[in-house]
């Protein structure tokens, strides 16, 4: 069986681990750097190649599409999907997942609790909510990963200043309610209909963001039944079978903050000692057998 991993030009821990485990589970493993894939479109459809290798000839294709290549990556996945190739995610989930607000809308549609969040293109439009929400507020741009682009405002004046600065990017910006204690969250790694690993992430002493990339630390954590159900439901709502789901515990119960179709697993492998790479590949291989 042939495996193709579609990933960034420069391989991260995750891609290296997947290649490592892939060689044990598959007869052939190839790495397709996303930017070097060519999409040729004509009246018969689209053909995807990399150095004369056709992507369609692989039994299993595992996409690892970072934010930088979300548009081009979506083109590739969309063409594969249209050709009948079985993939662990739907093409729209890449774009939707990288749009943090659209993610919340999608989750809310499916009855999944999300924080109160407001979005606009102009700071002045959002100012009306600054008086109604409880401080601190969480301020974000639509895109961002590993905690980058997340800011906190402890007062209305501070919120206005931050929003004024964000407005210069000419991108949609949003304000989200803060869920105390704020310096920790839960990451659940969903594969198929299961949560295969979960950890609590605690922010570094001088930080509020718990992301591992921001210096946060991960500890093994056992999800409650409700948290587990929500994580699985969230992945399904976002059209993906492999997903990192971020959960926070609010006074009203667990709340989903974010989903990530290109979730890293270095931190969770280290914290839980579970072989996430192997679990991912075993799952995608099994899907092909099922068909």
DSSP result, 85-114: ---SB-HHHHHHHTSHHHHHHHHHHTT---
Report the distance separating Cα 37 and Cα 167, nearest Å. 35
Residue 44 interacting with another protein (CB under 8 A): yes
Provide the CA 185 distance to its chain's centre, in angstroms.
Answer: 15
The single-letter DSSP state of residue 240 is: B
125 binds another protein (CB under 8 A): yes
- For 80-84, the CB contacts below 8 A with 24+ separation are 80/48, 80/55, 80/56, 82/45, 82/46, 83/45, 83/46, 83/56
Question: Under rule CB under 8 A, which residues in 164-223 are in contact with another protein?
Answer: 170, 172, 177
Residue 148 in the binding site for another protein (CB under 8 A): no
Cα 203 to Cα 280: distance, rounded to the nearest angstrom:
27
Q: Which is nearer to another protein, 170 or 205 (CB)?
A: 170
Contacting range for another protein; rule: CB under 8 A; set: 22-30, 74-82, 198-206, 224-232? 74-82
Residue whose CB is less far from another protein, 155 or 250: 250
Q: Is 71 in the site for another protein (CB under 8 A)?
A: yes
Q: Does 96 bind another protein (CB under 8 A)?
A: yes
Residue 159 CB, nearest approach to another protein (Å): 15
Contact region with another protein (CB under 8 A), list: 20-28, 29-37, 204-212, 263-271: 29-37
Residue 155 within binding range of another protein, rule CB under 8 A: no
- Work out whether 147 is an interface residue with another protein (CB under 8 A): no
Region binding another protein by CB under 8 A among candidate stretches 75-83, 203-211, 244-252, 262-270:
75-83
- Would you count residue 118 as binding another protein (CB under 8 A)? yes
Residue 224 is classified by DSSP as P
C-beta closer to another protein: residue 41 or 155: 41
149 binds another protein (CB under 8 A): no
Q: Give the long-range contacts of residues 92-96, CB within 8 A, separation 24 or more.
A: 92/239, 93/238, 93/239, 93/240, 93/261, 94/63, 94/65, 94/70, 94/261, 95/70, 95/71, 96/238, 96/239
Nearer to another protein, 37 or 235 (CB): 37
Cis peptide before 136 (omega within 30 of 0): yes
With respect to another protein, which residue has the nearer C-beta, 25 or 142? 142
* Vertex 238 angle, CA 200 and 138, to 5°: 55
Q: Is position 69 an interface residue for another protein (rule: CB under 8 A)?
A: yes
Which residue from 13, 31, 101, 283 is in contact with another protein, where contact means CB under 8 A?
Answer: 101
d(CA 48, CA 39): 5
Q: Which of 22, 91, 136, 218 binds another protein (CB under 8 A)?
A: 91
Assess 12 for contact with another protein (CB under 8 A).
no
State the DSSP H helix or E strand holding residue 239, giving kind and residue range, or none if neither. none
Residue 194 sits at the vertex; the CA angle it makes with 13 and 178, to the nearest 5 degrees, is 75
Interface residues with another protein (CB under 8 A) are 9, 34-46, 68-69, 71-72, 74-75, 78-79, 82, 91-92, 95-96, 99, 101-102, 104-106, 108-109, 114-122, 125-126, 128-129, 142, 170, 172, 177
């Amino acid at each position: 069986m042939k495996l193709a991993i579609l990933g960034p030009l420069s391989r991260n821990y995750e891609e290296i681990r997947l290649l490592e485990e892939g060689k044990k589970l598959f007869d052939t493993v190839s790495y397709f750097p996303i930017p070097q894939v060519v999409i040729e479109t004509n009246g018969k459809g689209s053909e995807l190649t990399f150095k004369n290798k056709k992507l369609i000839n692989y039994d299993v294709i595992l996409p690892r599409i970072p934010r930088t290549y979300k548009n081009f990556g979506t083109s590739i996945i969309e063409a594969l999907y249209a050709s009948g190739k079985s993939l662990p995610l739907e093409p729209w989930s890449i774009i939707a997942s990288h749009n943090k607000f659209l993610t919340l809308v999608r989750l809310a549609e499916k009855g999944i609790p999300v924080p109160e969040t407001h979005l606009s293109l102009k700071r002045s439009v959002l100012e009306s909510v600054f008086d109604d929400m409880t401080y601190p507020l969480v301020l974000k741009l639509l895109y961002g990963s590993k905690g980058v682009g997340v800011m906190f405002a402890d007062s209305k004046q501070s919120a206005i200043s931050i929003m004024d600065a964000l407005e210069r990017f000419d991108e949609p910006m949003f304000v989200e309610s803060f869920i105390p204690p704020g310096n920790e969250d839960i990451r659940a790694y969903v594969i198929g209909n299961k949560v295969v690993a979960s950890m609590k992430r605690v922010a570094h002493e001088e930080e509020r963001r718990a992301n591992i990339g921001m210096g946060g630390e991960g500890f093994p954590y056992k999800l409650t039944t409700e948290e587990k159900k929500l994580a699985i439901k969230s992945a399904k709502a976002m059209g993906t079978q492999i997903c990192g789901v971020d959960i926070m515990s609010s006074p009203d119960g667990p709340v989903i903050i974010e989903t990530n179709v290109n979730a890293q697993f270095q931190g969770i492998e280290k914290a839980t000692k579970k072989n996430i790479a192997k679990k991912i590949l075993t799952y995608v291989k099994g899907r092909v057998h099922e068909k």
